[in-house]
Amino acid sequence: MGFEEALFRLHQLEEHISMHQSTIDEMEELKKEMEERIGRLDGLDKKVVYMREIQGKPLKEIADELGYSEIYIKKISARNPKEYT
């Protein structure tokens, strides 16, 4: 590989890194905003939304961990839709 080709590849890598860093920055900002909104919730609602949105757990697993029925956790989750958190 010649010097010119190496420089070209380096430039391509830098562009990819920059693009991915921008995406990471955007996602971190969204996560911060989501955590702030979750922080305004109380009690079980807060736990359910945090586990669903931040930890990415399915409702069945949340119910098992918190000791509630899956139906009850689904009701809690439904009253806190994703677009509001």
* Chain segment 11-65, per-residue pLDDT in tens: 999 999 999 999 999 999 988 888 888 888 999 999 999 999 889 999 999 999 9
Confidence grade of residue 81 (pLDDT, cut at 50, 70, 90): confident
Q: What is the pLDDT of residue 10?
A: 92
Residue bearing the bigger pLDDT, 28 or 83: 28
Query: What architecture is domain 3-84?
Result: Orthogonal Bundle (1.10)
pLDDT for the residue 59: 97
**Taking the domains of the chain in order of start, what are their residue ranges?**
3-84
Q: What pTM, to 2 d.p., does this model score?
A: 0.66
77-82 long-range contacts (CB < 8 A, ≥24 apart) are 77/48, 77/49, 77/52, 79/45, 80/41, 80/45, 80/48, 80/49, 82/53
